[in-house]
Structure 1
Amino acid sequence: MRRLAALVVAAGLLVWAAAPALSVQPYVPRAVDFEQTLDLDRGGDAAAARATGGQWRSPVIKAPKRFDLIGLKWRSPDGHDVTGRIRVRDPEGGWSRWTLMGEGHGIRGTDPVWAGGADAYQLRLNRRPRGLRAHFVNATGTATRADRARSALR
């Protein structure tokens, strides 16, 4: 009797795990958006500014989760003339080229930049606005380990 119960449970788990793969509908992972407050007033920024010709360069910043898009937002009303570039690190550890972050068209921030599954980033800004935050979107189902496992099953 125990053996039969174990077989029934195992068969049920197998059907439950395989059902998404057998679906007629293609699997589309849900987009995950999240933010990170950037407390960049801690040491080292004066040397970084001198090293980059008067522009401020952040240290490498680890994102809370993997991300496909990144944009910046800030609080300071005088931040409309902030310009910057970003580079992102892929999961294998390679870095992209520095990419210009477009103006946010009237908002206190930038347009989003494609990052394609990055896990870290670095910023180069002409100045640091107050209340700087990074806004991320993961649209490929790879934000966390659990998301990656779920996406792989489907």
Structure 2
Amino acid sequence: MAKTKVKTSFFCKNCGSEFSKWMGKCSACGEWNTIIEEVLQVENKKAWKEDQGPSKARKPQAVRNIKFQTEHRIDMKNDELNRVLGGGLVPGSLVLVGGEPGIGKSTLILQVALQMVGQRILYVSGEESEQQIKMRAERIGIKNEECFILNETRTQNIFQQVKE
């Protein structure tokens, strides 16, 4: 198992600036009493490289030379989302959902996750607690016993949970 170092940093809740020590006033945005302490786990870089296995340099390819076959797509149980994704979600793909704060990105993704009955789903949020997500799920009103919630921001921990 990779050794982990612990590092303490301080962040402004208002603007997100990072500092090496606590201050009463954020020097970036000028707000008072917004600096919070956060303990970070820093992975050993050597161990990270070892975990990746051997790699070889890749070279760009012309689009016309790339061979492919039609990928199986996962039905997202939402016609409009399937249309936007070109017919559904390609297994192993990553989709970034963006937009203004408060327009319903988290609600949409949670609704889709809950609609995926029969699939094992891991819903990861770096902003909201499990309790906040549970309250939203209750409002949506869809039950899915195979939808799991994780509040996490460290990618290594997320990858570990996916493996389990």
Query: Based on CA coordinates, which of the two structures has the bigger radius of gyration?
Result: 1
User: Going by fraction, where is strand more abundant, 1 or 2?
Assistant: 1
Which TM bucket (shorter chain)?
A: under 0.3
